[in-house]
Amino acid sequence: MAQIIDRRLNGKNKSAVNRQRFLKRYSEQIRKSVSDAIAGRSITDIEQGESVSIPAKDISEPTFRHGTGGKRQTIYSGNKEFTPGDKIPRPSGQAGGKGGKASNSGEGMDDFVFQLSKEEFLEFFFEDLALPNLVKTKLATIQDFKTVRAGHSPNGVPTNIHIVQSMRGALARRIALRGPYHKKITDLEKELAGLSLIPEADEEHKEKIRAEIKSLRAKAARIPFIDPFDLRYYNRIAQPKPTTQAVMFCLMDISGSMDQNKKDIAKRFFILLYLFLKRTYEKIDIVFISHHTIAKEVTEDEFFYSRETGGTVVSSALRLMDDIMKEKYASSDWNIYAAQASDGDNWNDDSPICRNLLTENIMPYLQYFAYIEITTENPQNLWREYLKVKDDCANFAMQRIETVGDIYPVFRELFKKQLV
């Protein structure tokens, strides 16, 4: 029997296939570990990998072995206790635990622990999330085109002429048109050569043949080297191009009622949204807008750690967002998303203004707007006005967050895949 020995060196990713098979097999346990990790992570390490622990009982493999049943005879050397026919009692034993109190008998097994990479961690986190179907439909209607070559055309401008293709066409045309002439010339030349071997051949007939050959050669020579029919031009068509850039507007209330704990919850939510969009688009711009009674565009540090305080006028942030959208981000070139975090506290007369700004000026140009209200109190007037926006706009979503542990389920609820 021949044996084949593979002596090739193992590649860098020699276990990649086995690892993917393992991740797929224990996806439920890994998904639960990822969920638990997100709920308790700090802001700075939210994008890192994770150590996943799988109970030993979940990775046990079925095995086949010879059983101990049936009748058999065994001879043990040095036996001084038993005689034929004696029954040997089954030995007693207990399995040890996986840590905790020490055991004086049996054996145990620790949980299996392995490390998820950053990419694997995010893959499990976002695997069942997607932009809502309504948003995908809207994305598909955005008309953005790029010009690409699509073969050749007999019509075009001189700057787009394809020289090689044109010369090929001209050569093929000349060969095709000259073919009959060359064949007839060859036949006449053979006939003339045959008559030359006959002394009594008619000279007048020979001269007619020579004149016909000359005429045919003149006709073949008059075939133009290149004809307008031969010209070929590069054909270019407008091909639909998916828009691969997005802008995310982050709006947050920094009034006196938004303490640092609420800002921390908001930042975690914004980071999750950023990571989510980053997996879909090649380029993402982030615009931070903070507001109390006055709104302004700020840096990330100012957005999350600003010490400003004051009253609350939410419409100021929406007006500033509308101005920035019109000035910097044309809807035909950018996919626009927005997320707003607030505790729901707003000046009573301002909430209807916010609703009008959203429904008339902002929502028609957005792919998605997610509003989260960070509070443990009853909904206030801003929440009630935003409920009206939700009824009017399919790309508007809103959820309430009370604690850090609510961030993960709320985010998944806002961006869960829609069943077809």
**Boundary of a domain, candidates 178, 206, 235:** 235
Query: Are 187 and 274 members of one domain?
Result: no
Query: Are 395 and 312 members of one domain?
Result: yes
**93 falls within a domain:** no
Strands 335-342 and 245-253: what pairing?
A: parallel
Going 31 to 36 to 39 to 42, the CA torsion angle's sign is: negative
Q: Of 24-38, 187-201, 220-234, give the lowest mean pLDDT range.
A: 24-38
Enclosing domain of residue 120:
17-55+112-127
Per-residue pLDDT tens for 93-124? 554 444 445 544 445 555 667 677 777 777 77
Collapsed DSSP state (helix, strand, coil) of residue 256: coil
CB-CB contact of 186 with 213 (8 Å): no
Q: How many domains would you assign to the chain?
A: 3
Query: Are 288 and 381 members of one domain?
Result: yes
Query: Are 254 and 397 members of one domain?
Result: yes
**147 falls within a domain:** no
Query: Are 314 and 193 members of one domain?
Result: no
CB-CB contact of 37 with 408 (8 Å): no
Collapsed DSSP state (helix, strand, coil) of residue 277: helix
Q: Is the pLDDT of residue 139 over 70?
A: no
Going 196 to 197 to 199 to 202, the CA torsion angle's sign is: negative
Query: Are 278 and 401 members of one domain?
Result: yes
Q: Is the pLDDT of residue 341 over 70?
A: yes
DSSP H helices in 222-314: 260-278, 300-305
Longest Cα separation, the chain: 137
C-alpha to C-alpha distance for 327 and 319, rounded to whole angstroms = 12
**6 falls within a domain:** no
Q: Is the pLDDT of residue 316 over 90?
A: yes
Query: Are 182 and 286 members of one domain?
Result: no
Query: Are 328 and 354 members of one domain?
Result: yes
Query: Are 397 and 319 members of one domain?
Result: yes
Per-residue pLDDT tens for 385-402? 999 999 999 889 899 998
Query: Are 219 and 276 members of one domain?
Result: no
Collapsed DSSP state (helix, strand, coil) of residue 123: helix
Q: Is the pTM of this model over 0.85?
A: no
